[in-house]
Amino acid sequence: MKITIGSDHAGVEYKSKIITFLEKNSHTILDVGTYNTDSVDYPDYAHLVAEDVASNSDFGILICGSGNGVSMAANKHKNIRAALCWNEEITKLARQHNDANIISLPARFLSINKCIELTNIFLKEEFEGGRHFRRVEKI
């Protein structure tokens, strides 16, 4: 699976650990940055991930302090459905009911291990289609 990942300064450490996990599971990763903890503007990275997911990658992963900002920025792009995920059920529903193609993670509110767990759930869940297809089409 091809996955594009990006973060702001608050998510750099998380991004690195998630990439290691994904590579161990044979995924192809495009890391669009940032690469250190110097303060940056999160929309710059959210837009890079969203653009690549819309045209090239299967899924995207975004990480910032709250997960909100990157999700808002990514959702400005056509055919992007970025979902802020903080627990297992929300993550499953994001894929099953909303056909989310980007997971947004809040680095300041979850452990690295929890973010890896949620990423794994997100990548394994399938969109249920059916009644949800009609709803997703209206987004």
Give the catalytic positions in this structure.
64, 97
Can you tell me whether residue 65 is helix, strand or coil?
coil
The answer to whether the peptide bond before residue 37 is cis (omega within 30 degrees of 0) is no
d(CA 5, CA 58): 11
CA-atom Rg of the chain in angstroms: 14
Name 43's Cβ contacts closer than 8 Å, sequence gap at least 6: 69, 70, 73
